[in-house]
Structures are given as structure tokens and as C-alpha cells.
């Protein structure tokens, strides 16, 4: 099908006058660990001058029945229908540079056609560099700087060499296909994936968005504001620290993650540094837990079966914090009882 009819510019926009060096993409996929993508979108669209300049035809690419939008039933009528949209925003950075931001859910259908349509948009706008922003839950401690690993259509286009420690086979998000198709067209595309502590991935975690925005600058992107996110991050850090201080089991978990993390990034005279094969094996084991999920990203396991939270089979990982105001999910009121771990979700890297 013709990809040129899938994306349309807004009626009031002269597409011939649109120009920008950078395109940022925050399309959804398996999950939004730590609400990193949502917070990046909110930060850029609420603190910088922006406008919507184009959109994809969602009726052709979105599975409404499989991923039902929410609507409010107010007594006898419906209101606040959350219409799914993939929108292209024109944004002005702090230094006056114009860049573009593509937001919205992952397309459900016609991936090749969507990738073709976005490739045309990249060429029409004169985009020189496309940056894909995403996050996934990982075995890293919150007490260390969050790693942001890179992937690219052409590895030589990566500015900061920080990649995954091996080769992995996983179910592809749309952004993986988009990376390949843009690269085949001769366009520079780099993916930035922030590693969010797996025990915090279900809460809003501003440090994840801060790490992504910092990585954008490192990868030759525009100058972006951080003040609002920094002010939000402080109280969250304090709340997380207080909850961990109150749970000896969580303290031990974090200390173990710290030791492993430090061994991975440092090498001292007596330090045991894991090999790339050892790290790859550990990550592959971590990814293997997602094989039971269905094609639409939802788990197909029996909620009352052996993998249900709270059963012995499910209790193998760290606990999850719902938000900074409440104790970790599954954490018992008795501090002498072990914390209940939860399963993690698929990475997008």
C-alpha cells in the first residue's frame, strides 16, 4: 500500500517551510519503564514552544479492540475519550534550534508501510539525525548513574560507545524495524535506551527521563531543559531511600546490585570483572522470562497459575515500588518478613 497516504500534515501547516536537523521518537512498545518516555514528552511539550504539524492515520494502523482506549461514563453519557494519536510536533529548543518530536503508541498494523511513511517525512524535513528514546527494567541499582545504552542503523554513527554486552534474540518493537529501514535509506538513526532499576520500573521515576535527555545532548541533539525534572526527582529519591532504609531485605538487594554494577564498569587489581559472555548469558536469562507473553504484549499465562505473583515460582526477583508515597509492591507490613518480588517486562532495546 502507498505509504504517502498514511501520514498527513495539518491543514494550517506549509510542509515546504518545515526544516529541522533532529527528530526525536518516543513511540511506545512493550512498556514505558519508569514513565521515561511520557516524562520526556511532558517535559519537552510543556516547557518549550511547540505545535502539532502532522499525524498518522490511526484507523489504519491501530488495534482499537486489542488495546482499548479509555473513556469516562459520567452517569448517563460518555466523556473524556482518550483518542490514540501518533503526532509529529515541531519544537523549539532552548538555543532556538528547531527539532521534531514524534509521540504516541506503537502502531499495531502495517509496520513496513508506517516505516516507509516516516522515512518520507524524514527526507521531507531534512532530518540529519533521528534519535529513538526508550527505557526498560534492568538489574541496576538506583544509587548509581543510570546507564543509557545505544544501538544504531550504522554503529559508526554512535557518538558515545556504550552498547549492550552481547548479542540477543528478542521479539522486535516497531522501533527496531524503523531503525533498520531508515538506515537502509542512508539516514543516521541512533537508539537511546535507559536502564531503569527493575524494582522501580512501575513507578514514575524522573531520573530515567533525565538520563535520556542528557544522552540526547551527548548524541549531538538539541539543548533541552532539565530544571523541572530535577525538582521532581529530588522528592522521589528521598522517598525511595526512606523505603529502602526501612527494609533490611531491600538494603541487601540494592547492595548486591551495587557490587555487580561496579564490577561491570570498573576493573581494579583485585576486582572480578565479568566477561562479555557472562554478562550476555545473564541478560539472556533475564529476557527469557518474557517468552510467555502474547503477540499483543500481554501475558498469556494463567493469573492463578504457577507464575502468579505471590507464588513460590514467581518469587525470584526484587520487589517493585508502586510510587514514592507507598511501600514497595508486595512488601509485607512485618519488617522481618521477606519482600514479595514481582516479574519484570520486556526491554525495548
Global pTM exceeds 0.85: no
**pLDDT recorded at residue 307:** 40
Please give the domain boundaries of the chain with CATH numbers for all domains.
3-227 (3.40.50.10900), 232-329 (no CATH)
Q: How far apart are CA 315 and CA 309, in angstroms?
A: 7
Q: What is the pLDDT of residues 92-117, one digit of tens each?
A: 999 999 999 999 999 999 999 999 99
Answer yes or no: are the C-beta atoms of 91 and 44 closer than 8 Å: yes
**pLDDT recorded at residue 240:** 95
Regions in the chain scoring below 50 on pLDDT: 267-276, 290, 292-320, 322, 324-349
All three cell numbers of 151, joined, read 544501538
**pLDDT recorded at residue 170:** 82
**pLDDT recorded at residue 163:** 77
C-alpha to C-alpha distances, 102 to 109, 190, 258, 335, nearest whole angstrom: 18, 15, 35, 45
**pLDDT recorded at residue 164:** 73
Task: Give the chain's end-to-end CA distance (angstroms, integer).
Answer: 29
Lookup result for grid cell 521515561: 36
Residue 109 DSSP symbol: S
Q: What is the pLDDT of residues 297-327, one digit of tens each?
A: 444 334 344 343 333 333 334 444 545 444 4
**pLDDT recorded at residue 34:** 92
Angle at 345 between CA 340 and CA 346, to 5 degrees: 155
> What φ, ψ does residue 288 adopt, rounded to 5°?
-65, -20
**pLDDT recorded at residue 205:** 96
**pLDDT recorded at residue 167:** 79
Amino acid at each position: 500500500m502507498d505509504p504517502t497516504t498514511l501520514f498527513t500534515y495539518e491543514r494550517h501547516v506549509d510542509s515546504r517551510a518545515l526544516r529541522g536537523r533532529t527528530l526525536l521518537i518516543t513511540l511506545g512498545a512493550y512498556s514505558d519503564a519508569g514513565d521515561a518516555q511520557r516524562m520526556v514528552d511532558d517535559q519537552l511539550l510543556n516547557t518549550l514552544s511547540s505545535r502539532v504539524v502532522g499525524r498518522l492515520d490511526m484507523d489504519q494502523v491501530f488495534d482499537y479492540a486489542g488495546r482499548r482506549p479509555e473513556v469516562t461514563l459520567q452517569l448517563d453519557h460518555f466523556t473524556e475519550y482518550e483518542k490514540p494519536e501518533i503526532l509529529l510536533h515541531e519544537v523549539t529548543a532552548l538555543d532556538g534550534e528547531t527539532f521534531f518530536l514524534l509521540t504516541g503508541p506503537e502502531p499495531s498494523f502495517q509496520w513496513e508501510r508506517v516505516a516507509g511513511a516516516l522515512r518520507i517525512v524524514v527526507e521531507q524535513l531534512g532530518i540529519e539525525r533521528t534519535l529513538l528514546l526508550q527505557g526498560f527494567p534492568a538489574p541496576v541499582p538506583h544509587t548509581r548513574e543510570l546507564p543509557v545504552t545505544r544501538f544504531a542503523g550504522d554503529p559508526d554513527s554512535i557518538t558515545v560507545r556504550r552498547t549492550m554486552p552481547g548479542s540477543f534474540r528478542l521479539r522486535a518493537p516497531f522501533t527496531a524495524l524503523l531503525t533498520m529501514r531508515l538506515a537502509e535509506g542512508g539516514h543516521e538513526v541512533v537508539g537511546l535506551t535507559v536502564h531503569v532499576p527493575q524494582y522501580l520500573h512501575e513507578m514514575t521515576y524522573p531520573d530515567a527521563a533525565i538520563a535520556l535527555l542528557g544522552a540526547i545532548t551527548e548524541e549531538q541533539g538539541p539543548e533541552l531543559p532539565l530544571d523541572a525534572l530535577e525538582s521532581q526527582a529530588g522528592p522521589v529519591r528521598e522517598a525511595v531511600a526512606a523505603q529502602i532504609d526501612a527494609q533490611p531485605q531491600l538494603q541487601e538487594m540494592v547492595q548486591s546490585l551495587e557490587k555487580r554494577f561496579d564490577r561491570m564498569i570498573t576493573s581494579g587489581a583485585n576486582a572480578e570483572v565479568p566477561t562479555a559472555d557472562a554478562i550476555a548469558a545473564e541478560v539472556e536469562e533475564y529476557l527469557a522470562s518474557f517468552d510467555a507473553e502474547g503477540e499483543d504484549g500481554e501475558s498469556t499465562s494463567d493469573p492463578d497459575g504457577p507464575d502468579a505473583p505471590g507464588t513460590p515460582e514467581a518469587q525470584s526477583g526484587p520487589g517493585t515500588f508502586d510510587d514514592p508515597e507507598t511501600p514497595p509492591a508486595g512488601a509485607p507490613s512485618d519488617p522481618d518478613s521477606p519482600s514479595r518480588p514481582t516479574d519484570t517486562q520486556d526491554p525495548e532495546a
